[in-house]
Amino acid sequence: MDVEILACLEDNYAYLVRDEAGCAAVVDPGEAGPVLSALARRGLRLTHVFATHHHGDHVGGLPALRAHFPALRVIAHPRDAAHIGGPVEALAGDGRFEALGLRWRGLHVPGHTLGAVAFWGGDALFSGDTLFRAGCGRLFEGDAAMMHHALNATLGEVDDATRLYPGHEYTVKNLRFAQGLLPDDVDVREALREAESWVAEGRPTVGRPMALERLTNPFLRSHDARLCGLTETEPGVACFAALRARRDVF
């Protein structure tokens, strides 16, 4: 899938996806300017917004985008829809829908917000503030059990080849945290070296496969307390909660 990465605000990413007919969807437009510029440059018409959750740094561009494209369809989870403002199409059932000639799944992944969604279509997963490269979102509305289930059970369905496009560029800091937990882990060390060199070049670190995530993200390894470096805790939710608490103050 052709995914254009749009840097927004301080360290947010929005993502532009298009079809053959020149229609486009944008994921998490935190501001309108970069989206409108990309659409104009490529001669595309915006038909859909996929909102992973209701926070302003992910939907702040909506009013201006609606003004340019009055028929814009905004898709979100019903639990977050009311906080987004304006007409929103709430995902129903198991979150399956079609857009841009593709089948999508809006996977409900509560934890960061109660209506957080990860949008999965083609070979891309747009994970908002739920799953970051080597990290996960803070627990603002949900609890550790919810987020642990979202990351390991719900997103566990996503195949290894799918590319991860999260809501923020947090990769280097997250991998430094992971390296502190797993100082001898060669996959973490190599991923950190790659991410540091890409960031130094001004290149986004997103779009890497889930297989790499499953090797290097401590929050996807909390089934094994030893791998988390937390031998004093039980694996699973307790390990996840301990990791999240450590990362909150890292």
Residue 49: closest CA among 141, 145, 150, 117: 117
Look up tokens 């627990």; give the residue. Answer: 139
- Site membership for Zn ion, residue 54 (CB under 5 A): no
Answer yes or no: are the C-beta atoms of 5 and 164 closer than 8 Å.
no
Query: Of 18, 48, 54, 55, which one interacts with Zn ion (CB under 5 A)?
Result: 55
Identify whether 129 is a catalytic site residue: yes
Identify whether 168 is a catalytic site residue: yes
Least separation in angstroms between residue 61's CB and Zn ion is 15
| Those residues with Cβ within 8 angstroms of residue 44's Cβ, 6 or more apart along the chain or in another chain | 16, 18, 22, 23, 24, 38
Rounded Cα gap, residues 131 and 214, in angstroms: 11
What one-letter code names the amino acid at 36?
Answer: L
Query: Of 129, 169, 185, 213, which one interacts with Zn ion (CB under 5 A)?
Result: 129
Identify whether 54 is a catalytic site residue: no
- Find the angle CA(222)-CA(129)-CA(88) to the nearest 5 degrees: 135
Q: Which is nearer to Zn ion, 144 or 188 (CB)?
A: 144
* Annotated catalytic residue, options 58, 77, 148, 149: 58
* Annotated catalytic residue, options 28, 48, 53, 185: 53
* Annotated catalytic residue, options 112, 148, 149, 185: 112
Q: Which is nearer to Zn ion, 13 or 44 (CB)?
A: 13
* Annotated catalytic residue, options 28, 80, 129, 185: 129
Phi, psi of 154 (to 5 degrees): -65, -50
Per CB under 5 A, residues contacting Zn ion are 55, 129
Catalytic residues: 53, 55, 57-58, 112, 129, 168
